[in-house]
Amino acid sequence: MIELKNVSKTYRMGTVDVKAMQDVSLRIGPGEFVAIMGPSGSGKSTMLHILGFLDRPDSGQYLLDGKDISRLNDDQLATLRNQIAGFVFQQFHLLPRISAADNVALPLTYAGRQQLRARALDRIRDVGLAGRAHHQPNELSGGERQRIAIARSLVNDPLILFADEPTGNLDTKSEGEILQILKELNARGKTIILVTHEREIAEHAKRIVLMRDGRIVRDEIQQETDGASVDLSSLQETVSGGGSSFGRAEIVDHLRQSWHAIVSNRMRSLLSVLGILIGVAAVIAMLAIGQGAQESIQQRLSSLGTNRLTIRSGAPRSGGVRLEAGSSTRFTFQDVEEINRLSGVQYVSPLVRGRVQLVAGGENWNSEVQGAGQEYAVMRNAAPKTGRFFTSAELQERARVAVVGMTVVRELFSGQNPVGRTIRINKSLFEVIGVLPEKGASGPRDEDDVVVIPVTTAMYRLLGKRYIDSIEVEVASQDLMDQVQEDVRALIIRRHRLTGDGEDTFDIRNMADIQSALTSTTKTMTLLLGAVAAISLLVGGIGIMNIMLVSVTERTREIGLRKAIGARKSDIIMQFLIESVFMTIIGGVMGIVIGVGAAELLTVFAGWATRISFSSIILATAFSIFVGIVFGIKPAIQAAGLNPIEALRYE
């Protein structure tokens, strides 16, 4: 079954070459019980490592059932370790954070046999520890731990059992129990290769191979193998590549093992999670603030009307001195009518303004009066929620009716419904017919501190104006804004016979441009806030990587054990990546809760406008997972690249 042909192995120890094996040739048949003896440094452990697929020879051939395996890649050797070999170590190498049953079932994970986990309990029962299956390794004696290690080595029903000083750390009673188990396994047809430096231990084997200075100096057969029938079909299949599909741990097992690793180091894991938590919470809170500010600005702008042009009288210059606004171009109702006929114009409203004194009952208040056309309510989104707006008939009749803002309602009527009541505006009596919707402040200007009356009433009965202060135009669509603006400019120049030098006697303000500029600014601020918060996530990712690198160092022997029982590089990489992503997801979920809570608190206590969007939560979560993957790659690759022998010996 096993044949070594002129195998040599040399280790480089600093500047010195140590020849651990020199031209060793050995044949071992099925069902044999071989003890390899020799003093320290004789090469017996090196031979065991090569026989057990943990190491490669520098020269010579290793034939397994006639197939040369000395040049197989790491994953193929891992499959052999998982399917063909079972290992029993002197130091037991049980994982401390999981139960005895989970330790025994570990090789099943890398064999893709999770559905056979009941087999682990059967193997524990075979070694006489059925009542201790769910105990932690630190709750077991040395002999019990070694029996659990033997059960683990048998769970995949290997053809060959490799035992490296299996009784070295045991008392005499436990030593006898372990040797008896090995004998019984050999009697069932298992091939057993045992390394020991004690003659009395080797005497239990059927064959003793003595090594000295890297060579076999004696090969004694103490008892002929009884020729028990051994099924080599699985060996043939695995060596020829049929077992290549095994050894891929399923995601559920990796998640379970990763969770054990995280909870077993709670403080370290908490510190790792904290960085991601702060980053995700900052991203969500900052984006909520930015989007809330953006929506607040858009709402304020929409309350002033969309797709709107404001045409105002300018202030021309005379000899370098700017004259009074409106001293040259004065708008009339004929201008309003002409503009209303232009293509693309949807609504037009003339507008005059002035400061007035308001009196109602025993209260008085100084406010702004606006004389407007009937279309004002539609253009400014100012349809009263209480009462009504004035009609075209009232506009023509110069009726004394008024629609008031909420600030006026609070100051003159103590917040009570004023519809139907009378107010005095500059000594003229007006009937309140409606209350404007509340719009809040726009910078230092209070948009609710206003009284809107018919423009004809304002001009001819209240303010004594003969000309319109400004004309507001609502365009049918955003695409027509530029064209309508040019058409209006040309119309005014033509009607008022303005020259090129006189075009500064009026100006046209495009609200869409202002809205676009403000929206662009708020988007930039949102991106800036998000970028600053994302830096916190990157810092958290660096913390995760540092912790995972420390974890690799602390768990070096565990990694060596996993590789010794069949874990491939991809399995080790997957496990450490899942741990990293697991922590980032935990931190991400906690960060989402804290970020949402922080945004709500800012709204309640600071009065800030915030808006938490589902997309920001998805973005923060996806970015945290991305950070976990990116910063978990290096520790995972470092762990996967460890040599199993060196890892098992790591102190």
- pLDDT score, position 519: 67
Q: Across residues 484-488, what is the average pLDDT?
A: 91
236: buried, middle or exposed (CB in 10 Å: 19+, 13-18, 0-12)?
middle
CA 331 – CA 329 distance, rounded (Å): 7
- pLDDT score, position 226: 67
pLDDT at 165 over 70: yes
CA 436 – CA 385 distance, rounded (Å): 7
- pLDDT score, position 161: 92
Q: How far is CA 21 from CA 37, 451, 594, in A?
A: 14, 103, 62
CA 578 – CA 629 distance, rounded (Å): 8
Residue 274 phi/psi, 5-degree rounding, is -60, -40
**Which residues, in sequence order, are CB contacts of 257 under 8 Å at separation 6+?**
98, 109, 575
- pLDDT score, position 503: 60
Give the rounded percent of residues in the chain with a pLDDT score beyond 90. Answer: 27
pLDDT at 225 over 80: no
- pLDDT score, position 302: 56
User: Whose structure tokens read 């100006």?
Assistant: 507
pLDDT at 397 over 90: yes
Tell me which of 320 and 123 has the higher pLDDT.
Answer: 123
Give the rounded percent of residues in the chain with a pLDDT score beyond 70. Answer: 88
- pLDDT score, position 318: 47
User: Which segment of 30-34, 114-118, 231-235, 370-374 scores lowest on mean pLDDT?
Assistant: 231-235
Q: Is the dihedral of CA 103, 104, 109, 114 positive or negative?
A: negative
Q: Across residues 212-240, what is the average pLDDT?
A: 73
Q: Is the pTM of this model over 0.85?
A: no
Q: Across residues 519-527, what is the average pLDDT?
A: 72
Q: Which residues make beta-bridge pairs with 195?
A: 36, 164
Max avg pLDDT among 234-238, 414-418, 453-457: 453-457
Query: What band does 243 get if pLDDT is binned at 50, 70 and 90?
Result: very low
User: What does the pLDDT look like over 573-614, one tens digit per residue?
Assistant: 888 888 888 888 888 888 888 888 888 888 888 777 787 878
CA 447 – CA 10 distance, rounded (Å): 89
Task: Detail the DSSP E strand segments found in 260-410.
Answer: 308-313, 317-318, 321-322, 345-360, 363-372, 386-387, 401-404
- pLDDT score, position 247: 41
Query: What band does 326 get if pLDDT is binned at 50, 70 and 90?
Result: very low
Q: Across residues 202-210, what is the average pLDDT?
A: 91
Q: What domains sit in the chain, N to C, each tagged with a CATH number?
A: 2-84+158-247 (3.40.50.300), 258-299+517-648 (no CATH), 330-497 (no CATH)
User: Whose structure tokens read 């060793």?
Assistant: 24
pLDDT at 317 over 60: no
Query: What band does 233 get if pLDDT is binned at 50, 70 and 90?
Result: low
